[in-house]
Amino acid sequence: MMIMESPDNLVIVIFGASGDLASRKLIPAIFSLKSQKIMPEKYAIVGVGRTKISDEAFRTKMKEAIVTFSEEKASDQILISDFTKDLYYHSIEDYSGRGYSELKEALLDLDERYGIGGNYIFYLATPPSMYEIIAVNLSKEGLTVTENGFRRIIIEKPFGYDLESGRNLNKTLHELISEDQIFRIDHYLGKETVQNLLVTRFANGIFEPLWNRNYIDRIEITSSESIGVEERGGYYDSAGALRDMVQNHLLQMVGLTAMEPPSSLDANAIRNEVLKVFQSLQPIKEEDVSKYVIRGQYTGSLVRGECITGYRYEKGVAVDSRTETYVAIKFFINNWRWGGVPFYMRTGKRLPTRVTEIVIHFKQTPHHLFQRTMVKLSGNQLIIRIQPDEGILLKFDMKEPGAGFNVKNVDMDFHYKDLADIWVPSAYERLLHDVMLGDSTLFSRDDEVETAWKFLEPIQKAWAKNPSIKVFGYPAGTWGPEHANDLIEGDGITWRYPCKNLADEELYCEL
Ligand code: BG6
């Protein structure tokens, strides 16, 4: 097993500590890092929130969170108590002003008691509308000054809601702190399988020579979810699939799939290449939006015997909402490697199954020797499965045993689960540990975020200006609006309909 580096001593301050993110993801992730013995020798965690609770009550709440949400199903009470003894809670009257000097005093006191040496990470697990005001107040108290140790701020997407607000957020943050103090979390980049895209492409000699317009016919990226908006209707109705998934997770996957080999594994070397991909995205003109972008919204239906509520009847959603819960986009990347290769990407809620995958469709052979068999050859596909049943599948044609030359499409598959004894950290573990080490490779940089918004801007504008661009309904549990097929269909091609299991595929399959 690889020896992981231990970070320097530090205090982690979680704003919004009584919220869902802290209990479901952050505290269980830090607990897991502690169990793996890769937390710093000395550290303290301070939850900050408006609810008034004691340190003890916070510890009890976080113990429950660890038992409920920890991926390893933590059951060792001694280990959990040993972890929670370093948790503290500080209630703040109001994020926008009062209470920051008391917070500073509390932090300095802890810093001294633990012998930390001035390193702080501030995780803003609050609604995004609070990011700027919290950063301003931390800065006013001198808590973002790096003289006596590092000071880092972590924020979660959405980073603005369009190009202008995305730029403004960056601008405000840059007036207070430098870019290398900002860690913008895109939890997809914390997924092992997303990072493995780099290894698959750049550690193997066999793929890279084929990874271009000469051999690749098209690329399909799917991130489907079977769940709906759950308790997040209020947030989601003002976001929609384009902001919630495409601006960040899907475009980051496009970046890693399409980028040039970086000169090194340095954070900026990798992010520079991803940025170049974003800069090469062929802008979709406002007047072409309905041709290249299909949006949809789920309607109520019966899925596997269960009555599923339509999006407009979800809690927090307007009854006449036109927010998209599904989006499919056809686009091109204008550079030498990808010129003319269509990319198809789609994401949606309440689709048949939860799958994220990238499908590389290779071109057909130039001469169809075996056409007489009347079998339509499907061409080679490399399927990189991000989740679930993480792995890689190569589809290729083989001779069916027996007389003649009957051709059959077969699978060669590798599943991560076959690698025994491998510790697969959760996305948040990996990312939090990276922030502690100051490694920003897997975090979105300011210019990447802005360029991604720039690509989406004409789509957002066209939708906002032009109500005649349809929002197609699709019954919950189906693969989205039928119109999304028009984007890809032609010459006999269709979307791939993946299943939970990597090697299976069928129209509507959940095994
Ligand atoms: C989040 C989105 O960023 O990603 C959610 O806000 C979505 O709407 C989630 O459900 C999907 O993440 P994962 O890891 O389950 O694919």
Q: Any idea what DSSP says for residue 371?
A: G
Residue 479 has pLDDT above 60, yes or no: yes
Any atom of ligand 1 within 6 Å of the Cβ of 357: no
Q: What pLDDT is attached to residue 448?
A: 97
How much is the average pLDDT of 465-484? 95
Give yes or no for residue 192 CB within 6 A of ligand 1. no
- Alpha carbon of 188 to ligand 1 centroid (Å): 9
Residues 6+ apart with CB under 8 A from 320: 312
**Which of 67-81, 138-152, 312-326, 435-449 is predicted with the least confidence, judged by mean pLDDT?**
67-81
For residue 239, the model assigns a pLDDT of: 94
- Determine the distance separating the centroid of ligand 1 and the alpha carbon of 112, expressed in angstroms: 39
Residue 1 has what pLDDT? 42
Q: Supply the pTM of this predicted model.
A: 0.93
Of 39-43, 362-366, 432-436, give the lowest mean pLDDT range: 362-366
pLDDT tops 90 at residue 256: yes
Q: What integer pLDDT is reported at residue 405 of this predicted model? A: 85
Is any atom of ligand 1 closer than 6 Å to the C-beta of 244? yes
C-alpha to C-alpha distances, 118 to 44, 274, 372, 385, nearest whole angstrom: 12, 33, 74, 42
- Could you tell which of 25, 184, 187, 223 is best to mutate to test the pocket of ligand 1, judged by most ligand atoms within 8 Å of the CB? 187
Residue-wise pLDDT for 187-198, tens only, equals: 999 998 899 999
145 pLDDT tier (thresholds 50, 70, 90): very high
Which of the residue ranges 72-76, 327-331, 504-508 would you say has the lowest mean pLDDT?
Answer: 72-76
Q: Judge whether 132 and 155 are in contact, CB under 8 Å.
A: no
Half-sphere exposure of 324 (CA within 13 A, CB side): 28
Give me the pLDDT at residue 375, please.
55
| Whole-number pLDDT of residue 217 | 95
Q: What is the DSSP letter of 212?
A: S
pLDDT of residue 371: 65
Q: Measured from the CB, is residue 225 less than 6 Å from ligand 1? A: yes
- Measured in degrees and rounded to the nearest 5, phi and psi for residue 191 equal -75, 135
What mean pLDDT is reported for the chain?
92
For residue 392, how far is the Cα from the chain centroid? 19
Q: Provide the pLDDT for residue 370.
A: 77
